[in-house]
Amino acid sequence: MVGVFDIVGTVFSGWLTDRVNPRILLAAYYALRGVSLLFLPSLLSAEVQPSIIVFIVIYGLDWVATVPPTIALCREVFGDRGPLVFGWVFAAHQVGAGIASVLAGLVRDHTGHYTFAWFAAAGLCAVAALVSATIRRHPAPARR
């Protein structure tokens, strides 16, 4: 289900990115993601409840929705070098995701649950929302 809603969210995000300031979109996406992660520990149970389905839909819509506005910002700020910069952003994201998964595993090993990892991820989303909202507009540099 996450994957299906991911496709819908990403396509819609691309459409929105053509019409809305990508900084605002990123801030909204990260804020929504953070809020949903705050609720996740209370939604987890041995059986599937309607509330977890709502989480899956929201998280799926938001999961890769950050890509179109990130690409747009890379292009705006770095001009023709934007796609190269996005490649580095994507690579850094993968490294960060690997580190985060190890840290979440350590939290689980030490506490017996992932609750603190979910809360930490929500906090990082809040930081990402704030940073996204404060990215200044720059004219794209001229290609040499």
Q: Note whether 103 and 117 are within 8 A (CB).
A: yes
Average model confidence (pLDDT) across the chain: 93
Q: How far apart are CA 105 and CA 97, in angstroms?
A: 12
Q: Which segment of 10-19, 21-30, 48-57, 124-133 scores lowest on mean pLDDT?
A: 48-57
Q: Is the pLDDT of residue 140 over 70?
A: no
pLDDT of residue 143: 61
pLDDT of residue 95: 98
Residue 142 confidence class, pLDDT cut points 50, 70, 90: low
Q: Note whether 8 and 65 are within 8 A (CB).
A: no
pLDDT in tens, 69-98: 999 999 998 999 999 999 999 999 999 999
Q: Which segment of 10-14, 48-52, 69-73, 96-100 scores lowest on mean pLDDT?
A: 48-52
Give the ranges where 18-143 is alpha helix by DSSP (H): 22-43, 50-63, 67-78, 82-111, 115-133
